[in-house]
Structure 1
């Protein structure tokens, strides 16, 4: 059962922010140990292409995508549900900023929580990538 992100009274609402941090060292180790196949379970081909450079997958970009997906999932506040990795898609907009697209299971969870969309910001450093996500709330009068 989701914890609805808006106030029950229908007045001014509040939103569940999501945040996640991912270690570059850990992602490099996974990439070295398991290769690209490991990340195909979490990212779709377009997302992997966004993380690719001329020398292969960029660990820092992978960290940013993973952190963004985790942060987006945390905004949904659902219990007993596994993160639907490939149903939360994080792509690069023409301007370079990240965009979140919710598909299948993730879209259903968002609808159950009164969330129409999720916006995310990603920041990278040498050792870590961090992402913060915020839901875009729907009209509480139209909730199931």
Structure 2
């Protein structure tokens, strides 16, 4: 089992949205993720989630794994889930995973646990 966590100030996301608008969201979110994350706190949570997943995989966001290789969704109960692009899944071979996202007090945090 591997674990990754990330925390971000929601105000950082607010500033990026004010400066770059939709282009900022498109930089790291798929269109379906943009539909899910309508509030700034949710967008910050998605950023933290992708960072936490990359940390659990031990590679970070970069050449081996891009923001767009990580696809966030919600299950039938509204809990966050994720999958990897086909190419990234071939490299990382995730067998089991769990993701938690929360936001409060001006921060968003995410924890990812996975087994390869």
TM-score in terms of structure 1 length: 0.73
Question: Unaligned stretches of 5+ in structure 1?
Answer: 1-14, 53-57, 138-144
Larger Rg: 1
Distance 1:73 1:117 in 2: 15
Cα distance change on mapping 1:40 and 1:81 into 2, 3 Å: closer
TM-score in terms of structure 2 length: 0.89
State the partner residue of 1:6: none
Q: Secondary structure at the match of 1:39?
A: helix
Distance 1:67 1:134 in 2: 14
State the partner residue of 2:17: 31
Distance 2:26 2:58 in 1: 25
The structure with the largest helix share of the pair is 2
| 2:48–2:108 Cα contact (<8 Å) kept | yes
Q: CA deviation at 1:43?
A: 0.4
Deviation readout 1:52-90 (Å, 9 max, x if unpaired): 2xxxxx110001111111111111113894441011011
Cα distance change on mapping 1:36 and 1:117 into 2, 3 Å: farther
Distance 1:80 1:131 in 2: 15
Q: Secondary structure at the match of 2:2?
A: coil
Cα distance change on mapping 1:116 and 1:134 into 2, 3 Å: same
Query: What does 1:18-97 correspond to in 2, within 5 Å?
Result: 18-52=4-38, 58-78=39-59, 81-82=62-63, 83-97=65-79
The counterpart of 2:100, out of the listed 113, 121, 136, is 121
Question: Unaligned stretches of 5+ in structure 2?
Answer: none
Distance 2:87 2:70 in 1: 9
Whether 1:135 aligns to 2:100 is no
| 2:54–2:60 Cα contact (<8 Å) kept | no
The alignment of Structure 1 onto Structure 2 pairs a total of residues equal to 115
